[in-house]
Amino acid sequence: MPELTGAAPSSLITFKTQAGNRYAYSRTMNQFLLLHPVLDKLLYLTKEGVDVSNWFASLPNEGTVVDDCGRVSKGQIEYYVRKYRLLADNGYFDQVDQNARLSGTLSAEHVQSLLANVRHVVFEVTDDCNMACEYCAYGKYYSDYDERTGKYLDIGVARNLLTYLLEAWESPLNASHNTPIHIGFYGGEPLLGFGLIREIVDALKHQTTAHNTFSFSMTTNGVLLGKYMDFLVENDFQLLISLDGDETNNAYRILRSGKPAYRATVKSVLALRDKYPDFFIQKVKFNAVLHNRNSVAEVYAFFKHTFAKIPMISGLDTVGIAAGKADEFRSMYRNLHESLTDAANCSSIEADMFLGLPDVWALGNTIYQLSGCSFRDYSELLYGRSQTLIPTGTCLPFSRKLFLSVNGKILPCERVGHQYSLGSVDANGVTLDPADIAENVNQQRAAIRSACVSCCRADICNVCILQQDIQTHTSCPFFMDADDYRGYLSDRLSKLEENRDYYSRLLHQSVAIE
C-alpha cells in the first residue's frame, strides 16, 4: 500500500467521458461544466503553471492548433480567455483549503444531541437461528463477531435501554416532532425470540411521548411467519424477508436440520400473502444475497413473477473474512455490477430496480453530491453546506441508528464489528459516556485524516472506516488521487450521457445521503 499523504488535491478536475466529451468539475462551485476544447486547453495551461494572459498575448495573429479543433483563430481563443476569466472571477478555480475543510471534530454535546435525535433503534433479539446459511455473517467465513451461543436478549436489558432513550427523546435536545421512531428487530432469527418482541411492542404502543410515535420493522428468514403473522400485521410491521431467489438460487440457505430452507420460507410467505394481501403489497420487502448460485437476472425474474416485487440485492460482506477461508469465500462471491451487465435484459432490470442497484445509486450519489442542485434539507438550501467536515463517510454515532447486541453492547449499526462498541446495557442500566465516544471518534478520524486531506473524493466519501476496518492513514483502499477521481467522474457522466432520463428521475427521488 503506497503512502496516501501528500498535497491537497486540485479544486478543479477536468476529464473526458467515454464518448469523448470534455467536462470540468469545480469543487468550489460544486458544479460540472461542459468544456469547449479551447477552454479545456486554457485549463490545462493553468494546471501546468502557464499564465493564460501571457500565453494569449504571445500567440501569433493566425492563432494556434488546439486538440480536436485544428487551427483556432486568435479571435476565437480570445472569447474563451474571456470566459475563463469570468469563471475565475466567480471562484470556479479557487483552491479549497482541504485541511481546514476536514478539520471537523465531534464534541460530547454533539453526541448527546445525536442520541436525543436517534431515529432508528435495532434490537438483536437473539443470536440463535433456525437456519444455518453457509454465508452467514456469523458463520464460518467471518471472524469479526462475538461468539454465537444461542443467547437471547434479556428483556430487562432492552427495557433499560428504552427507559434511557425515552428520557433523551423527551429532552429539549430532541429536534424532531410528530415523527416516528423506528424500532427494528434483528437476529439470528428474531422471531425465535418472539416473547421479547411482543413485550417491547406492547410497551411502546402504550407509551405516551411528546414528540414521537413508534413504528416497527424486522429482518427475518420468513420460516416462522405463518405462526406470528397476525401479530406482525396487527402492529403494522415493515418486513424484510431474506430469500435468494428460486430453489436453486436459494441453495446456500439451509435449515438447521440440513434441509434446504426454500420450501419452508416460501410456504410461510405465500400464507402471509394470501391472508393479508394488502399488507403484503405495502409492507413486505425482500432481500437477496448475490453469490455463485444465483444472478441478478434470475433473482429479479423470480421475485417479479412469484411475488410481483422488486427485491433488494446485496453482495456478500467482504470484510472480516476468517484466516484460511479467503479462497473458499472468493469462489462463492459474485460481483453485482458484472452480474447485472451479464443479463440480456440489463437495461430493463436497471430501469425497474433503479436506485436499488449500486451503479444507479452511485450515479445518484454523484448527482446529489456534485450537481449543486441537491440539498440535504432546508437548512442546507438556505445557508449552504457546512464549511467543515469530520473526515470519512462513517456515520456519526447515533446519527442513523443505535444497535443493541444480544450481549448488551451498543453499536452504531449491525454491520460494524463488536470491537467498535459505544457503550453497554445490563440489568443495572446504560453505561454510555458521550465524552468518551467523542474522543474515540476524534482519534479514529485523526488517524486517517492525513490521507483524506489529499484524497480527491474526501468531500463525498461514503466509506465507513468501521465497517471496512480502516484504522490508519495508510490503509484506505478507497483513496482517490486525481487520476482515480477523473476515472470516477468519467464513469458517472458517461453513464448519464447514455441514460439521460435518469437525471430528472433521480432528482425526483427522496433519498438519505449521509
Partner 1 sequence: MSGSAWFYVEPYIHISMMRDAAVLYNTLNGALIEADYPPVVRLVERLSSATNLRVVELTNSEVADVHVMAFVQSTKEAFVGDLLDQAFSRGRPIEMMPLLHLQDGAFQGSADTFERSGQDIMTYLTEVTVYINTSCDRCCPTCRQAYRQFLACTRGMGSSHELDIVHIAKLVEETQGSGLTRVNIVGGDLFQYSKFGQLTDLMSKVQALKIYVTHYANLLGRDESLSLLAADKSAELRILVDFPLDEERFGQTVPLLSKSGIRYGIDFIVQNESDLQSAEGIVTEMQNQVVSFKACYNGANAEFLKKALFLSREDILDAKPSLREIFARMAVNPLAFGRLVVLSDGAVCASVNTATRGQLGQDSLYDLVYNEMVSGTAWRTPRTAAGPCQACMYNLLCPPRTDYEAALGQQNLCHIRTASPAAIEDMK
Output the smallest distance, CB 97 to partner 1, in A: 21
- How many Cα atoms occupy the beta-carbon half-sphere of 123 within 13 Å? 29
Q: Which stretch binds partner 1 (CB under 8 A): 78-86, 232-240, 275-283, 388-396?
A: 78-86
* Residue 397 to residue 118: CA distance in whole angstroms: 9
Q: Are 312 and 288 in contact (CB under 8 A)?
A: yes
Among 6, 50, 53, 68, binds partner 1 (CB under 8 A): 68
Q: Which stretch binds partner 1 (CB under 8 A): 18-26, 184-192, 281-289, 424-432?
A: 18-26
Closest CA to 334 of 374, 288, 373: 288
Among 186, 368, 420, 488, binds partner 1 (CB under 8 A): 368
Scan residues 265-284 and list those touching partner 1 (CB under 8 A): none
Closest CA to 266 of 289, 241, 285: 241
Output the smallest distance, CB 178 to partner 1, in A: 4
371 lines the binding site for partner 1 (CB under 8 A): yes
Q: How many CB atoms lie within 10 A of CB 80?
A: 22
111 lines the binding site for partner 1 (CB under 8 A): no
32 lines the binding site for partner 1 (CB under 8 A): yes
Q: Which stretch binds partner 1 (CB under 8 A): 251-259, 364-372, 424-432, 437-445?
A: 364-372
202's torsion region: left (phi>0), alpha (psi -120 to 50) or beta?
alpha
Query: Counting Cβ atoms within 10 Å, is residue 3 exposed (0-12), middle (13-18) or buried (19+)?
Result: exposed
In this complex, which beta carbon is closest to partner 1, that of residue 176 or of residue 318?
176
Q: How many CB atoms lie within 10 A of CB 75?
A: 9
Q: Which stretch binds partner 1 (CB under 8 A): 93-101, 144-152, 322-330, 370-378?
A: 370-378
103 lines the binding site for partner 1 (CB under 8 A): no
86 lines the binding site for partner 1 (CB under 8 A): yes
Q: How many CB atoms lie within 10 A of CB 40?
A: 22
415 lines the binding site for partner 1 (CB under 8 A): no
Binding mask 163-182 for partner 1 (x = CB under 8 A): --------xxxxxxxxxx--
* Residue 140 to residue 134: CA distance in whole angstroms: 8
Output the smallest distance, CB 383 to partner 1, in A: 9
The residues pairing with 120 across neighbouring beta strands, listed in sequence order, are: 182
Output the smallest distance, CB 68 to partner 1, in A: 5
Output the smallest distance, CB 110 to partner 1, in A: 12
114 lines the binding site for partner 1 (CB under 8 A): no
- What's the grid cell of residue 193? 425470540
Q: Are 310 and 300 in contact (CB under 8 A)?
A: yes
1 lines the binding site for partner 1 (CB under 8 A): no
117 lines the binding site for partner 1 (CB under 8 A): yes
235 Cα distance to chain centroid? 28
Output the smallest distance, CB 62 to partner 1, in A: 18
74 lines the binding site for partner 1 (CB under 8 A): no
489 lines the binding site for partner 1 (CB under 8 A): no
Output the smallest distance, CB 125 to partner 1, in A: 26
Size of the site for partner 1 (CB under 8 A): 68
453 lines the binding site for partner 1 (CB under 8 A): no
The residues pairing with 415 across neighbouring beta strands, listed in sequence order, are: none
44 lines the binding site for partner 1 (CB under 8 A): no
Q: Which stretch binds partner 1 (CB under 8 A): 155-163, 241-249, 369-377, 467-475?
A: 369-377
Q: Are 123 and 196 in contact (CB under 8 A)?
A: yes
Place of cell 465497517: 467
In this complex, which beta carbon is closest to partner 1, that of residue 253 or of residue 401?
401
Among 13, 87, 241, 316, binds partner 1 (CB under 8 A): 87
Closest CA to 514 of 417, 411, 369, 370: 369
Q: How many CB atoms lie within 10 A of CB 259?
A: 10
Helix, strand, or coil (residue 409): strand
DSSP string, 115-142: HHT--EEEEE-BS--SB--TT-TTSTTB
* Residue 365 to residue 374: CA distance in whole angstroms: 10
Helix, strand, or coil (residue 32): strand
Question: Which residues bind to partner 1, rule: CB under 8 A?
Answer: 17, 19-23, 29, 31-34, 36-37, 68-69, 79, 82-83, 86-87, 89-90, 113, 116-117, 119, 171-180, 210-211, 367-368, 371-379, 381-382, 384, 493, 496-498, 500-501, 503-505, 507-513
